[in-house]
């Protein structure tokens, strides 16, 4: 049971971090990693938008 609780806590803390909660206690390295992850995620979203717009224009 201890392992499951630790994993649950780790996941909850990860979600909070991605939502911007409790980031004041993060170290510089963690903030840098979070920034890189967010930039990668935004790039993926932008790429999907470009693909969706291309497909939409192709069908019309």
φ, ψ for residue 44 (rounded to 5)? -65, -45
How far is Cα 9 from Cα 1, in angstroms, rounded to an integer? 12
How far is Cα 23 from Cα 26, in angstroms, rounded to an integer? 5
Mean of pLDDT values over 10-15: 89
- The pLDDT score that the predictor gives to residue 41 is 94
pTM of the model: 0.65
Question: What residue ranges do the domains of the chain occupy?
Answer: 2-59
Q: Can you list the alpha helix ranges (DSSP code H) found in the chain?
A: 2-18, 28-59
How far is Cα 12 from Cα 34, in angstroms, rounded to an integer? 15
Angle subtended by helix axes 28-59 and 2-18, to nearest 10: 70
pLDDT, one tens digit per residue, over 28-50 is 998 999 899 999 999 999 999 99
């Amino acid at each position: 049971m201890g392992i499951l609780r630790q994993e649950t806590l780790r996941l909850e803390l990860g979600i909070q971090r991605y939502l911007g909660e409790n980031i004041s206690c993060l170290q510089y390295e963690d903030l840098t990693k979070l920034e890189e992850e967010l930039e990668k995620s935004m790039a993926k979203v932008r790429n999907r938008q470009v693909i969706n717009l291309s497909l939409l224009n192709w069908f019309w």
